[in-house]
A and B are shown apart, each in its own frame.
Chain A
Amino acid sequence: MKKMEMTCIGCPNGCDITLTAEDGKIIEVFGNKCPKGIEFAENEFFHPMRTFTGSMDVIGSTEGAHTVSCRTQKEISKADMLAVAAEIKKYKIKLPVKVGDVLIENVCGTEVDIVATKNVH
């Protein structure tokens, strides 16, 4: 039997969740106030996931902007966070961009895209 205690980061509630597992199978999850907590706990046990957010350099801004803020469209493996952070520094984004525009496809082989989170021109 393995017990894992954690705090859900799904929302500001920050529920304390306890997960019990045996032979690599989850037996019980409790402490979560909503179903999102179960998914979070399962991920934390097998494969922790996070949303990456950052900013990328831009060129040719007509409003004097230096950067465009961005995110991974979905969560990526927590282990890939630093690699993604280093990767996006290699790019300079041509403007204009809108919220949701794909800036990098399949970043670092995660099968997740980096998208813009701001309109910049």
Chain B
Amino acid sequence: MISRDLVIIGGGPAGLAAAVAAYDAGLKDILLIERDYCLGGVLNQCIHAGFGLHTFKEELTGPEYAQRYIDMVLERGIEYKTDCMVISVSPEKIVQITNKDDGIFEVQAKAIILAMGCRERTRGSLNIPGTRPAGVFTAGTAQRLVNIEGYLPGKQVVCLGSGDIGLIMARRMTLEGAKVLCVAEVQEKSPGLKRNIIQCLDDFGIPLLLRHNVINIYGENHITGVDVAEINENFQPIPGTTVHYECDCLLLSTGLIPENELTMGLGAEMDPITKGPVVDEKFMTTVPGVFAAGNVQAVHGLADDVSVHAEIAGRAAAEYIGGGRQ
């Protein structure tokens, strides 16, 4: 079996920053594993500006921010594997990996940093009545389709939820030539940043309907429309407020959940509030030598904060192995 001092799972900003910090703290025998074909994580699809104001004192786009860390990893010659998916992690710190060429192989680690990020809540966890046609996407899936695949998933769009990814996608699809009819938000206040409401909705005259919900979805094979209604304090639709929108795309931007199947398989104690593992001040989970950094630990609003926390975890992992500064 291959062995490494430190195995980092996930090549997003958390994994990258943890790798660099562990290396700079004296740990050289590191393996970073990423399931996608390139490093950078979800930042590759976050092509808008708004990253790095803290870390680099300038406003970068997601890919530019990621590239700075990718360059740091490359400069240090830290070993990484892309197109490799981790399928399990054991308390004995054996990491099971699969890829196209090698099938399944295992790596024995002395310490592990979990940096698998988060994923979006889907319609399944939302409970909207109506048919189940094509054309309903999470905002993040649409973001990937538009920005990475170069494919516009709809021309007439309604967005449910005004989280930042939804706001960013409302602008993005408008710039790509789609008409965003409205953004419906069940809360009284948008969870998105004010700057995003201004530059993504107001700039393009897209209405934000607070205390509104999508109460029905129409369409046999492909979505043809939705009903949007005002809701009361108990989130029940108020009769007589329903408006029908003809649309060929419904975006859902209703929150992120940490990606923790591996963590749970490992037996680490989970925090019911963050939905990530319980960690100490150095981001070590309840399994000694296993750390968690970035959105896998708790959903972070800003990538800059992810980097800071991941650096703490990286240094702590180096310390744990005894590879601290010589």
Nearest CB on B from A48, distance (A): 8
Decide: A117 and B53 in contact? CB cutoff 8 A. no
Q: Contacts of A67 on B, CB cut-off 8 Å?
A: 147-150
Q: Contacts of B47 on A, CB cut-off 8 Å?
A: 53-55, 69-71, 117
* Interface assignment of B175: CB less than 8 Å from any CB of chain A: yes
B interface footprint on A63-91 (CB within 8 Å = 1, 0 otherwise): 11111011100000010011001100000
Q: Of B53, B67, B195, which contacts A99 at CB under 8 A?
A: B67
* Interface assignment of B264: CB less than 8 Å from any CB of chain A: no
Which of B44, B148, B150 lies at the interface centre, i.e. has the most chain A CB atoms within 10 A of its CB? Answer: B150
For A66, give the chain B residue with the smallest CB separation: B150
- List chain B positions with a Cβ less than 8 A from chain A: 37-38, 44, 47-50, 53, 59-64, 67, 146-150, 172, 175-177, 193-195, 198-199, 203, 301-302
- The 10 tightest CB contacts between A and B, nearest first, are A14-B194, A69-B47, A118-B63, A9-B195, A85-B175, A66-B150, A67-B150, A117-B61, A117-B64, A117-B63
Decide: A57 and B48 in contact? CB cutoff 8 A. no
7 A–B contacts, CB within 8 A, in A order:
A12-B50, A12-B301, A12-B302, A67-B148, A99-B64, A117-B60, A117-B64
Q: How far is the CA of A85 from the CA of B48 in the complex (A)?
A: 13
For A99, give the chain B residue with the smallest CB separation: B67
For B38, give the chain A residue with the smallest CB separation: A63
Q: How far is the CA of A65 from the CA of B203 in the complex (A)?
A: 31
Q: Contacts of B60 on A, CB cut-off 8 Å?
A: 117
Q: How far is the CA of A63 from the CA of B38 in the complex (A)?
A: 9
Q: A63-B37, A78-B203, A119-B67 are in contact. Are A71 and B198 (CB under 8 A)?
A: no
Decide: A85 and B176 in contact? CB cutoff 8 A. yes
- Number of cross-chain contacts by CB at 8 Å: 81
Q: Contacts of A7 on B, CB cut-off 8 Å?
A: 194-195, 198
List A residues 5-48 near B (Cβ within 8 Å): 6-12, 14
* Interface assignment of A110: CB less than 8 Å from any CB of chain B: no
Q: Of B50, B63, B198, B199, which contacts A69 at CB under 8 A?
A: B63
Q: Of A54, A66, A70, which contacts B148 at CB under 8 A?
A: A66
Q: Contacts of A12 on B, CB cut-off 8 Å?
A: 50, 53, 193, 195, 301-302
Q: How far is the CA of A8 from the CA of B44 in the complex (A)?
A: 26
Q: Contacts of B49 on A, CB cut-off 8 Å?
A: 51, 53, 71
Nearest CB on B from A107, distance (A): 13
Decide: A55 and B61 in contact? CB cutoff 8 A. no
Which of B146, B175, B199 lies at the interface centre, i.e. has the most chain A CB atoms within 10 A of its CB? Answer: B175
Q: How far is the CA of A3 from the CA of B59 in the complex (A)?
A: 29
Q: Contacts of A86 on B, CB cut-off 8 Å?
A: 177
Nearest CB on A from B319, distance (A): 32
Nearest CB on B from A29, distance (A): 17
Nearest CB on B from A15, distance (A): 9
For B68, give the chain A residue with the smallest CB separation: A99
Q: A9-B198, A63-B38, A99-B64 are in contact. Are A82 and B147 (CB under 8 A)?
A: no
Q: Of A11, A71, A78, which contacts B53 at CB under 8 A?
A: A11
Decide: A55 and B37 in contact? CB cutoff 8 A. no
Q: Contacts of B44 on A, CB cut-off 8 Å?
A: 69, 118
Q: Contacts of B148 on A, CB cut-off 8 Å?
A: 55, 65-67
Q: How far is the CA of A66 from the CA of B144 in the complex (A)?
A: 11
For B164, give the chain A residue with the smallest CB separation: A12
Q: How far is the CA of A52 from the CA of B203 in the complex (A)?
A: 12
Decide: A9 and B199 in contact? CB cutoff 8 A. yes
Which of A14, A65, A69, A86 lies at the interface centre, i.e. has the most chain B CB atoms within 10 A of its CB? Answer: A69
